[in-house]
Amino acid sequence: MSARPAGARRGRDRRAVRIPGPAGHARVLGAAPTVAVAGGGIAGLAAATALAERGVHVTLYERGDSLGGRLAGWPVELADGSPATMSRGFHAFFRQYYNLRGLLRRVDPGLDTLTGLPDYPLQHSDGLRDSFARVPRTPPWSALGFVALSPAFGWRDLARMNPRAALPLLDVRVPEVYDRLDGVSARDFLTRIRFPEAADHLAFEVFSRSFFADPRELSAAELVLMFHIYFLGSSEGLLFDVPREPFPAALWDPLAGYLAGHGVRLRTGQAVLGAAPAGDGRVTVRTDGEEVAYDGLVLALDTGGLKDVVGGSPTLGDASWRQRIARLRTTPPFLVSRLWLDRPVAAGRPGFLGTGGYGPLDNVSVLDRWEGEAARWAARTGGSVVELHAYAVDPAADREAVQDRALAELHRLYPETRDAKVVDARHEWRADCPLFEVGGHRDRPGVHTPDPAVVLAGDLVRTTLPVALMERAATTGFLAANALLRRWGLRGQTLWTVPDRGRVPALRALAALAGT
């Protein structure tokens, strides 16, 4: 396993913004309110944690057999008889994920379960390779350093670019960025700037692929927000941490124990099917076989789950809100292929590599470089554990053909794998990530709903804070808890984010002079 860089323990950027929670009592005085949390992913766990810590009686419902949501893991037995943990694949825990990391610190104050990878390398099939390890992290040198050090940017390429079209990158303001750019696709935005094609593939397409979306369908506002978060809004850059062990052992099992210690009733394998106002300011929650009235309800579900619950709740909210939920879309299917090989990959291969120009293959992880379970299997067998991701796959595509093509591209990328025997392979196909489509932000639901007893949380939920992906899930989970805590006069959870606008005055002035 790789050594842990010192940055894995680092705290927040000194320019991070503190957002106080609602004022009030630290703990419940008198009879404790009751809350149902639907969904045991990051958002639901964050909401349940903030509520339970203040004495609220929480029941958490999760339709799956384990916690973690889209980061859940489950046991499998390999063809060689070895036990292993399968999941939906690699996730990067960026150091700007202040609120998610704060959640994990409840059970791991030093974040010792995370290990830092030394780089975020990107490679294109034409031979270009980018690295973020040597890029300065302090704005504006982070963005300037990336351009200066990247082989994708040559002097002729820079001369052909449209600097005026690029100015929105210099002073991102949230939520104003959605008013300016939500009606433009990420692809059209990059076309206007005339970035070198290689830079599109090696850098900005990485951001759009992080949303599991085709750049032609992704809102440019989300792309530009990502640029702000990682380049001009913080000093953490694009380096990240990963869990040292599979998700359940490293993250969710300890957090489940923490929640149980705070009195949370964990109901895995039990889905919320619907909800309705109870007539006394409470809400009745319906599961398979029972209906229970609660003082509050947090719907922390993925897109499909939220649509199902709201669709089965004809009296919840109002017609306009229910219609907005019904219009939510998910991204195209994506593939995670995990391969247990009978021989190691070359010693110099990174733990994670983003790719461009390799057919459907978007990235490759060598899990035994950093995950303990995979490393122990590799040490025992002399093999390696490799994971392939393919995003935004055509729904009509032949799935076996896509799996075969991804494997063929691995062989092209890492030739030493061509003769490797596949001891076992597991392929996960999913299509449940929210699509942040062009023009969709205004229609996207926020934390608050027409019923003050019901709140939403998750990475699909709109917020005015500069957060995305897993950090948006954790942040909206805490925001949902705060909305309920405010009703009961209880002190809320303090949040942290990168600044909600560009932090370099000269760049803000330049953008203002250009009328952006």
Q: Is residue 83 part of a domain?
A: no
CATH code, domain with 487: 3.50.50.60
Contact 85, 244 (CB under 8 A): no
* Helical (H) or strand (E) element with 268: strand 265-268
DSSP annotation of 368 reads G
- Do 324 and 442 fall into the same domain? yes
What does the pLDDT read at residue 148?
Answer: 65
Instruction: Give me the amino acid identity at 349.
Output: R
Q: End of a domain among 410, 430, 450?
A: 430
- Do 324 and 448 fall into the same domain? yes
What does the pLDDT read at residue 376?
Answer: 98
Q: Is residue 213 part of a domain?
A: yes
CATH code, domain with 375: 3.90.660.10
Q: Is residue 114 part of a domain?
A: no
- Cα 220 to Cα 226: distance, rounded to the nearest angstrom: 10
- Do 311 and 444 fall into the same domain? yes
What does the pLDDT read at residue 5?
Answer: 39
Q: End of a domain among 237, 261, 296?
A: 237
> Where do we find the tokens 């393919």?
390
Q: Is residue 113 part of a domain?
A: no
DSSP annotation of 332 reads P
pLDDT along the chain (516 residues), means of 10: 42 86 92 97 98 98 97 97 96 96 98 94 85 74 68 67 78 90 92 77 65 89 90 84 98 98 98 95 94 98 98 97 97 97 97 92 96 98 98 96 98 98 98 96 97 98 96 98 97 95 63 56
Q: Domain range spanning residue 148?
A: 132-237
- Cα 444 to Cα 355: distance, rounded to the nearest angstrom: 31
- Do 462 and 407 fall into the same domain? no
Q: Copy the structure tokens of residue 315.
A: 């009296």
- Do 422 and 336 fall into the same domain? yes
Domain count, the chain: 3
Question: Facing residues of 130 across strands?
Answer: 122
- Do 302 and 442 fall into the same domain? yes
Question: Facing residues of 286 across strands?
Answer: 274, 291
- Do 369 and 388 fall into the same domain? yes
Contact 45, 72 (CB under 8 A): no
What does the pLDDT read at residue 149?
Answer: 66
- Do 376 and 415 fall into the same domain? yes
Question: Facing residues of 242 across strands?
Answer: 115
- Cα 278 to Cα 397: distance, rounded to the nearest angstrom: 46
**Phi, psi of 277, deg, nearest 5:** -60, 140
What does the pLDDT read at residue 510?
Answer: 60
* Helical (H) or strand (E) element with 485: helix 469-487
Q: End of a domain among 430, 452, 480?
A: 430
- Do 223 and 361 fall into the same domain? no
Instruction: Write down the H helix ranges in 291-432.
Output: 303-311, 319-326, 372-381, 399-413
Exposure string of 429-449, with b = 16+ CB inside 10 Å and e = fewer, is ebebbbbbbbebbeebbebeb
**CB 453: neighbour CB atoms within 10 A?**
21
Instruction: Give me the amino acid identity at 265.
Output: R
DSSP annotation of 462 reads B
Sign (positive or negative) of CA dihedral 253, 255, 256, 257 = positive
- Do 207 and 230 fall into the same domain? yes
